[in-house]
Amino acid sequence: MLKLFDKNSSIKADTPLLLIFFSVIAFIYISFNGNVHLFDWDEINFAEAAREMMVTGDYLNVRIDYEPFHEKPPLFIWMQLISMKLFGVSEFAARLPNAIAGIITLFVLINIGRKVYDKTFAYLWALAYFGSILPFFYFKSSIIDPVFNLFMFLGVYYLFNFTAYSIITGRNKVKDVIFAGLFTALAFLTKGPVGFLLVFMTWAVFWIFNTRKFKLPVKEILIFVLISFVPALVWYFLIFMQQGEGLIYEFISYQIRLLTTGDAGHEGPFYYHFVVVFFGCFPASIFALNSFRKNEADNMSQIAFKHFNIILLLVVLIIFSIVKTKILHYSSLAYFPVTFLAADYMYRLLKDEKRKHKTVTISTSVIGLILAIALTAFPIILMNIDVFLPQITDKLTNALLRADINWTGMEISSGIILIIGICLFVYFMMKRKFVKGITALFISTAFSIYFFMIFMAPVIENYTQNSAVEFFKSLSGKEVYVHTLGYKSYAPFYYQEKKYENSKYHLSMSGREYEEYLLFGKIDKDAYFSAKVNNYEDYIEKQPELEVLYENNGYIFLKRKKNKIKFDDV
């Protein structure tokens, strides 16, 4: 372990160590990614878009339920499409791009950490990112943000390179501007204009605070903006030529809706993302809070890079605090500066063994133990849920908690691993063996989340959506209609593997019209429905031809046979 933190060795000399390190990381990020179904909405949403691209052979248009879905550009969908072409349509294929993004991200952090600081800092930064809760979790998901964040951070980094070089030498390095533009363009093509906004605003705020040190580089800004916008504008133009002005209206409406309303019911208080980042980036966030002090040992480049990261953190938190729609992963770009600041504190701790650390050690261990106890108690409570069911009066919640779970006992392993890690962390920190203490903390956190996703994620899915997903899968390949009543879900499209030709009716209808057609229209195929136990009775009262097939785990599954005449009174 001491050799790992030897700053004098070169990257070339570290090749065997790096190969071992990234082999382990690759195994952890890639393994068991197919052991649980994709979760509604975001995971299934993007995977379904990739599947529909494969079905239609149209790689330009993003579709959901075969209807245009241009709220998101296609780059991440293309990545999932390639994965599905190689490994088939599956949970593993849908999640593989983020696993690869995780491997690349840690490599990027090690490479940047070496250039700005040294090898010690590089591995501390990678360790902090690898061993924090949400950064680890997202690399084993199929949401769009890990890839999106990687591109944005690389855009920010190359703008930093350009800026630092300008301050130190008084000359501009256009190559860095070009790289910044290219990565920002990839971010733009992954999730839209916010990919440009976050990168450019970070640089703009930094420039405002350093106007005396370098003049506004107008030519380089124009180059950066041009490169950043062109790929996405080409895609939008091609779509516009096909879809017409409706695309522009749809896109603008979506952006306004995100800014001004709690889209899809995702609302929250102004401080929402401050809380999410603090607890989601545990334990790195605790260390990061102690890293805002100026360090006299830092050189000019290191000071500038730290300021860049602090500005990036504030820009992300403030922008997404202003945005009305509050979704957990919106602020996930903040994980880069938070883990950087954590590495900065740990780096100073290793450099100065007399530095005070008790406050950090105590606060980390207290929060960590609370989390570990919760992770241990959670499955134990669920194993004995029958004791609590009589007190749960909500019909849906009560039904969901009656799921038949095959408990193995390994479900508590996540909490046990974290308890052991916290104890080792406290022991080594008190002994001032900081390398061992830090390593024990972050490695145990990573493996705690890893085992949670292996053993507890399937349990959570069994309680929430598994019965519905299995119902949709049982209809795969059959010439039937499948629809959800009373709740929104992308699962029927993906898991029933809905065919393009089965969409010919609803493409000309609104969602409400299509549902009424399936319930009351003259249908040419049997229609199957999934509803929840707390709201299905209203549908049966309106349409007595609905046949209840069975009830399972909070869901009611129904069927309406084909060739029924539409009711005149509806």
Cα maximum dimension of the chain = 84
Q: 520 near 569, Cβ under 8 Å?
A: no
Give the residue-averaged pLDDT of 298-318: 92
291 with 389, same domain? no
Q: Is residue 446 part of a domain?
A: yes
pLDDT at 504 over 70: no
Q: Which of 430, 464, 498 is the last residue of a domain?
A: 464
pLDDT of residue 5: 41
489 with 451, same domain? no
85 with 71, same domain? yes
Answer with the residue of higher pLDDT: 249 or 534: 534
pLDDT in tens, 132-162: 999 999 999 999 999 999 999 999 999 999 9
Q: Is residue 567 part of a domain?
A: no
pLDDT of residue 215: 79
**∠ Cα 157 162 168 (to 5°):** 120
Give the residue-averaged pLDDT of 454-476: 95
263 with 289, same domain? yes
Q: 76 near 144, Cβ under 8 Å?
A: yes
292 with 429, same domain? no
165: phi then psi, degrees, rounded to nearest 5: -65, -40
Q: Is residue 2 part of a domain?
A: no
Indicate the number of domains in the chain: 3
Q: Which of 355, 374, 409 is the last residue of a domain?
A: 355
Percent pLDDT > 90 in the chain is 66
pLDDT in tens, 113-130: 999 999 999 999 999 999
Q: Which of 313, 336, 355 is the last residue of a domain?
A: 355
421 with 307, same domain? no
Give the residue-averaged pLDDT of 535-548: 90
321 with 367, same domain? no
> Which range has the worst mean pLDDT, 183-192, 287-296, 409-418?
287-296
pLDDT of residue 265: 56
pLDDT of residue 53: 95
pLDDT in tens, 256-291: 666 666 555 567 788 999 999 999 999 999 999 998
Q: Is residue 344 part of a domain?
A: yes
Mean pLDDT of the chain: 89
348 with 368, same domain? no
pLDDT of residue 436: 95
Q: Is residue 270 part of a domain?
A: yes
pLDDT of residue 384: 93
139 with 22, same domain? yes
pLDDT at 11 over 80: no
pLDDT in tens, 358-368: 899 999 999 99
Cβ-count burial of 367 within 10 angstroms (0-12 exposed, 13-18 middle, 19+ buried)? middle
C-alpha 330 chain-centroid distance: 8
Which of the four pLDDT bands, split at 50, 70 and 90, describes residue 245?
low
DSSP string, 384-434: TGGGTGGG---HHHHHHTT------SGGGHHHHHHHHHHHHHHHHHHTT-H
26 with 165, same domain? yes
Angle between helices 15-30 and 91-116 (to 10 degrees): 150
Dihedral of alpha carbons 114, 116, 121, 123, sign: negative
pLDDT of residue 252: 65
486 with 459, same domain? no
Side chain identity at residue 345, one-letter code: Y
pLDDT at 12 over 50: yes
460 with 492, same domain? no
pLDDT in tens, 198-242: 999 999 999 888 877 777 888 999 999 999 999 989 988 888 887
Q: 370 near 317, Cβ under 8 Å?
A: no
Which of the four pLDDT bands, split at 50, 70 and 90, describes residue 570?
very low
Which of the four pLDDT bands, split at 50, 70 and 90, describes residue 6?
very low
pLDDT of residue 268: 79
Domain range spanning residue 459?
Answer: 359-464
C-alpha 10 chain-centroid distance: 33
Full 3-state SS string of 488-554: CCCHHHHHCCCCHHHHCCHHHCCHHHHHHHHHHCCCCCCEEEEEECCCCHHHHHHCCCCEEEEEECC
pLDDT of residue 3: 39
In 3D space, the residue among 222, 224, 231 whose CA is nearest the CA of residue 159 turns out to be 224
Q: Is residue 546 part of a domain?
A: yes
Q: Is residue 565 part of a domain?
A: no
Q: Is residue 238 part of a domain?
A: yes
Answer with the residue of higher pLDDT: 520 or 70: 520
pLDDT at 564 over 60: no
pLDDT in tens, 80-111: 999 999 999 999 999 999 999 999 999 999 99
Contacts of 56-64 with CB under 8 Å at 24 or more apart are 56/500, 60/235, 60/238, 60/239, 60/242, 61/239, 61/242, 64/490, 64/493
pLDDT at 7 over 70: no
